[in-house]
Structure 1
Amino acid sequence: MSVQERKERERAARERLIVKTARELAERQGWDAVTTRRLAESIEYSQPVLYSHFRGKREIIGAVALEGASALAAALRTATAEADGPRARVAALAHAYLDFAEGNPAVYDAIFQLDGGLPYAQEDTPEPLKDAFAALVESLGEVAGDGVHPGLFTETFWAALHGLATLTRAGRLPPGDAESRVDLLVDRLAAY
């Protein structure tokens, strides 16, 4: 292995460590706790080293969002692969999405709430974000109904899931009715 290859491998490992540490810190203490100073201390590198990878917190949030989008896409595909029939796939997708949001609140915020400097719904949207949306379309497109554009239906269903996720997390919805909400959403929006 050449010196250049070793340096590139070490740089990539440092970058993964920064993103992993930011995610862990945000999950434990919230995004306000994620500062370049705290990250530098946690990974035992200087702040200039951190800035050699990311221009600041916004880019770190973006990197966490991209990794999170990949994880969300994988979770959705895993959940829907086991489901038998369109309704079961849509219900599995809804549960997997809401479980991801509940289990990874800081990552969910990085993907959908915070400014990570990433373009959404545009030509230059990064591939992990496109893939997460594609994972939704794969199950939702088949239940959009006649004459309904699958992408538009997916956006609407996704918006409903996002609303459920954020309102539930904020304590705005009674927790005992979570299953009924998913059933209602699936039954009313998805045409089988």
Structure 2
Amino acid sequence: MKNNNDTKQKLIYTTREMIELQGIDALNMRDLGKKMNLSRSAVYRHFKGKEDLLAVIVGENFKLLNNNMRELIGNINDPRRLMNAILCTYYDYGITNKEYYKLMFQKQWDKELYPDLYNSAFIIFEVVENCLEKAGNIRKSPNQSTAIMFAFIHGLVELNAAEHSEAEKGLDNPINLIQSFLDLIFI
């Protein structure tokens, strides 16, 4: 049984390596099996298909992002500073992990097949919403402010990941944009 779990973990690790070197679009189960000296059927004993394998990786990534958010919450008491840190962390994650970010937020995962992924994404939303609710000094409801905040940060990540960060558009300093955005959220 241990050997079976080791193989599964190695498949996940090797998949991560392949994504980092070649991108998600280049990943396929045949090449993964070849890289690990496994038959295709051996790979499918561990995962139903590419999507199931990627779902495991996305789940791990959400867990990492959730842990980073919770660590900030434990260390920063001021609501505005906390939101600034959360948005900066989120932005940094998206920019430094572009392929994983795409998997997490641009792919529509089936809620019925992958309920844990949906729940993990929603936990991040709830964490931010709860922080804003405790802050109390926001212009809109906590739910609306959180939705606006996620629309903003996803847009900022997308623009910068696509290298649309032109100074003449005011997009060259994401940290300043995050701080200016918080001026719009907080009273």
TM-score bracket, normalised by the shorter chain, equals 0.7 to 0.9
Contact kept, 8 Å, 1:70 with 1:132, in 2: the verdict is no
What CA distance in whole angstroms lies between the structure 1 residues aligned with 2:185 and 2:87? 12
**Equivalent of 2:102 in 101, 109, 118:** 109
Q: 1:11 to 1:154 in 2, by over 3 A?
A: farther
What CA distance in whole angstroms lies between the structure 2 residues aligned with 1:143 and 1:36? 47
Q: 1:140 to 1:21 in 2, by over 3 A?
A: farther
Deviation larger for 86-95 or 151-160: 151-160
Aligned residue-pair number:
180
Secondary structure of the residue aligned to 2:163 is coil
Map 1:5-84 → 2, pairs under 5 A? 7=1, 9-84=2-77
Residues 55-101 of structure 1: per-residue CA shift (max 9 Å, x gap): 22222222211111111111222234322411100000011101111
What CA distance in whole angstroms lies between the structure 2 residues aligned with 1:86 and 1:35? 44
What CA distance in whole angstroms lies between the structure 1 residues aligned with 2:186 and 2:7? 44
What CA distance in whole angstroms lies between the structure 2 residues aligned with 1:69 and 1:108? 10
**Equivalent of 1:169 in 151, 158, 161:** 161
Q: Which runs of 5+ in 1 are unaligned?
A: 1-6
Deviation larger for 89-98 or 150-159: 150-159
Secondary structure of the residue aligned to 2:38 is coil
Q: 1:118 to 1:12 in 2, by over 3 A?
A: farther
Contact kept, 8 Å, 2:139 with 2:185, in 1: the verdict is no
What CA distance in whole angstroms lies between the structure 2 residues aligned with 1:44 and 1:54? 16
1:130 aligns with 2:126: no
Identical columns (%): 22
Secondary structure of the residue aligned to 1:176 is coil
Residues 128-151 of structure 1: per-residue CA shift (max 9 Å, x gap): 333333333343333463761x33
Q: 1:176 to 1:30 in 2, by over 3 A?
A: same
What CA distance in whole angstroms lies between the structure 1 residues aligned with 2:181 and 2:59? 27
Deviation larger for 178-187 or 138-147: 138-147
Contact kept, 8 Å, 1:23 with 1:107, in 2: the verdict is no
- CA RMSD across the alignment: 2.5
Secondary structure of the residue aligned to 2:173 is helix
Contact kept, 8 Å, 1:26 with 1:106, in 2: the verdict is yes
Q: 1:104 to 1:168 in 2, by over 3 A?
A: same
TM-score, normalised by the number of residues in structure 2: 0.83
Deviation larger for 174-183 or 29-38: 174-183
Match in the other structure for 1:160? 152
What code does the residue aligned with 2:72 have? Answer: A
Contact kept, 8 Å, 1:118 with 1:125, in 2: the verdict is no
